[in-house]
Structure 1
Amino acid sequence: MNFSLTEEQQLIQDTARQFAENELAPNAAELDKTGNREILLRNLKQLAELGFMGLNADADYGGSEVGPVAFSLAIRELAKGCASTAVTTSVTNMVAEVIQAVGNESQKQHYLPKICSGEYPAAGFCLTEAGAGSDPAGMKTTAVRDGDEYILNGSKMFITSAEYAGVFVVWAVTDKNAKKGKGISCFLVENGTPGLIISPAEHKMGQKASATNEVRFEDCRIPATALMGNENEGFKVAVTELAGGRIGIGSLALGIAEAAMDYARQYLAEREQFGQPLINFQGLQWKLAERYTDLEAARLLLMQAASLKEQGLPFAKQASMAKLFATEKANEACYDAIQMLGGYGYISEYPVERMARDVRITTIYEGTSEVQKIVIARELLKEL
């Protein structure tokens, strides 16, 4: 197996790393404390101009067309600088992929250039509901056909970037009598549509600069042309895109953890106790060895999943394995980074405190670790 990156993939990674170091990392602490929307939107606009908002979108629609491996590399590097910016980038790319995969030509020509160019600062993925998180097939939001329109009613929870998303991909039940998961359709809903109501942002433990909102639909009328793909066949679209999204979140977690461990390693090399640098103590050396080995294993799992996706091969099991391992090990790494800094690690002046809060959600969104185990086991049983 060839683990070398192509020249294009290396360029994407280098560009993302430079942007994270120069633009994201210097402002990450302020974004965490104040949620400064001006800084965040400026970052997102610059990323769009660099081609990072449509990494897998076709060039004909303004996308970069660099593939899933480059996407994983980019999210990983951006997360080292600012997790809030990285998750916005990841979700926006997911929406672009959905539109490209199932949208008709008119929909692709209308929405993809706006997402890729940054005309829309972000895009929203409206799947989760209060009673349908790990079980999205149990959603209650409905879309009822009324002549040349659909009327949406219901609500979606924990929607990333809802406040500044230009367009939402929304899943709703269109056939209440169909078997669970079979009567669901997928729609495009523009921000500002009458009846679409965005609630105030949630107050979160981490990734604070990334807005997370409830999105409600109250007799929200959308044109019938907003339907993507075939009616009642939208749920399989969501399942497919969630698998790709898991590569993004696994990559994000890996980036956060690498940044935390790199900071801790440097701290150990400079901080002295008992008359010598902390890094001379074998217990701490072993801790470094264990965590960096975990993160390297996570990187390889993510690259395998991204490579399979890029080749058009089945990748759901590998994506869930990568997401499960990367996010769990990233949490361990961030907490170990705090431990290595001792009391300083618990103080917000030092970035590992923020990184530990930012990484915590990665084992929950885009499918909890428990859901990943269900997916992995299901795929293993299929192979019998």
Structure 2
Amino acid sequence: MSVQPVVPEAPSARSPYFSEEHEMLRAQVRRFVETEVKPHGEKWEKDGFVPRDVLRRMGELGFFGIRYPAEYGGSEMDELATVVLSEELGRSTFGGFAITALVHTDMASVHIANAGTPAQKAAHMEDIVAGRKICAVAVTEPDAGSDVKGIRTTARRDGDHFVLNGAKMFITNGVHADLYCVAAKTAPDARPSQSVTMFLVEKGTPGFTVSRALDKHGWRCSDTAELSFQDCRVPAENILGQEGRGFYAIMSNFQNERLTIGAMAMGESQAALDLTLDYVTTRKAFGAPLFDKQAIRQRLAMLSSKVEAGRQLVYHAGWLAAQKVDCVREVSMVKAYCGELVNEVMYSCLQFHGGMGYMRESAIERMTRDARVQAIGGGATEVMLEEVAKRLAR
């Protein structure tokens, strides 16, 4: 007798964390993904970037302003709204598309929203929320990723300007962004935590160039670049926040970035399980659907359990963040656990697709490549586990 799988209801329907407003956002994002992302994502993968008209459409729908003030066109929602957006974009199955949008909303533009002067916000925030200006954050360097204190790009004061020299690597949205939030050392002799300043650098600033677009293993429709600053003169008024306080701004936003990546990973994991469940219930081997094989359905059951655990960890950390509770430990757990789990899920789901899973025409093949970086970017698993370990005795 064949075992018939039961397709679960939407995970959020059982969650006590989300309000009606959150669920309305979830439904709206899910509709957008189904109608305006999935039909075109393969072309974006080939082109190597997400078209600007798609990003402007997301701005028109309000997706880029869910956390920002109403005066700029935002919705003034909380961290749980970010979780909803990230999870649903992850479910699109196009990780490059999801990260393009989420870097803009939750990793780059936040430096302007949180630390920008009134003049900076007036000049840029409405366009950021509307998707007319896309943002990138330039912190990572060839020898300084998670080690923010190790950056080498410098910014030397010269009258009412700073002169930037250095290079940035692995910068998402690096080719096509309009605004770059750039970390540079303004006081090389100061304590490492007090030597970094964030600058707002606009595309076209003399001395600032995109050295090259990078060819990646996954996230193919996310444009990623190496940036170069050679005697790039930036007005002192373009400092974001206080001089010498950039390290703290970066570390503070890491929590939001890691929560975002964790939620995205759980959306991707659920989408992979859904695809695989559909495949193993229709694909027959030895005279019966693959789902009839105990080994397969039990592994899927265990993966589903782990994803549910990861999802609830993300929801709880998002709720803690929304309550303004110190949740560095929980968010670090999210990044470590979900970054590893999404890779475990993809590996098994590709295996269950057999030879078809290894073909470029298969969604699961693309998703497996996309997932690999999520145990690296935003804080490698090993770094995250150290953050958790430091807090175990508290």
Q: Distance in 1 between matches of 2:284 and 2:30?
A: 30
Partner of 1:248: 260
- Structure-1 separation of matches of 2:328 and 2:33: 29
Alignment pair present for 1:218 and 2:230: yes
Deviations 1:145-201 (A, max 9, x none): 111111111111110001111111111111111112221111111111111111221
Which of 55, 76, 82 aligns to 2:66? It is 55
> Normalization by structure 2: what TM-score?
0.93
Give the Cα separation in 1 of the matches to 2:380 and 2:65. 26
Aligned residue among 263, 271, 278 for 2:283: 271
Q: Deviation per CA, 1:314-341, whole angstroms, max 9, x where unpaired?
A: 1221111011111111111111111111
**Matched letter for residue 70 of structure 2:** A
Paired with 1:158 and 1:85, the residues of 2 have a C-alpha distance of 16
More moved, 91-100 vs 226-235: 91-100
Runs of 4+ in 1 over 6 A off after TM superposition: none
Tell me if 1:10 matches 2:37.
no
| Match status 1:194 vs 2:206 | yes
Aligned residue number for residue 40 of structure 1: 51
Percent identity, aligned pairs only, is 36
RMSD: 1.5
**1:247 alignment partner AA:** L
Mark the CA change 1:378 to 1:111 in structure 2 (over 3 Å): closer, same or farther.
farther
Match runs of 1:110-129 below 5 Å: 110-120=123-133, 122-129=134-141
The Cα of 1:347 is off from its aligned counterpart by 1.0
Assess if the C-alpha contact under 8 Å between 2:272 and 2:346 holds in 1: yes
Whole-angstrom CA distance in 1 between matches of 2:206 and 2:358: 45
Match of 1:303 in 2: 315
- 1:78 to 2:93 alignment: no
Is contact 1:52-1:89 (8 Å) kept?
A: no
Q: How far off its partner does 1:4 sit?
A: 4.3
Q: Is the CA contact (8 Å cut-off) linking 2:265 and 2:374 kept in structure 1?
A: yes
Q: Aligned partners of 2:221, 2:15: CA distance in 1, in Å?
A: 38
Q: CA deviation at 1:301?
A: 1.1
Deviation at 1:32, TM superposition (A): 2.1
Deviation at 1:241, TM superposition (A): 0.6
Structure 2 contact 329–391 (Cα < 8 Å) conserved: yes
DSSP 3-state at the match of 2:51: helix
Q: Is the 8 A contact 1:44 1:85 kept in 2?
A: no
Of 274, 296, 302, 1:290 maps to 302
CA distance in 2, matches of 1:353, 1:227: 43
Deviation track 1:67-120 (CA, whole Å, cap 9, x = no partner) reads 211111111111221211110111111222222221222212222111111111
Whether 1:100 aligns to 2:113 is: yes
In structure 1, the partner of 2:292 is: 280
How far 1:247 sits from its partner (Å)? Answer: 0.9
Alignment partner of 1:141 is 2:148: no
Structure 2 unaligned regions, length at least 5: 1-13
Amino acid at match of 1:21: E
CA distance, structure 2, for counterparts of residue 332 and residue 100 of structure 1: 36
Structure 1 residue 62 displacement after superposition? 2.1
Q: Per-residue deviation at 1:380?
A: 2.9
Find the counterpart in structure 2 of residue 24 from structure 1: 37
Q: CA deviation at 1:31?
A: 2.1
Please give the per-residue CA displacement for 1:203-225, whole angstroms capped at 9, x wherever unaligned.
11111111110111111111110
Name the residue aligned to 2:78: 67
Confirm whether residue 230 of structure 1 aligns to residue 242 of structure 2: yes
What are structure 1's unaligned runs of at least 5 residues?
none
Q: Secondary structure at the match of 1:170?
A: strand
Instruction: Check whether the contact 1:96–1:115 (CA below 8 A) recurs between aligned residues.
Output: yes
Deviates more, 1:198-207 or 1:100-109: 100-109
| 2:18 maps to amino acid | L
Bigger CA drift: 213-222 or 78-87?
A: 78-87
Count residues in correspondence: 379
Q: Distance in 1 between matches of 2:198 and 2:17?
A: 38
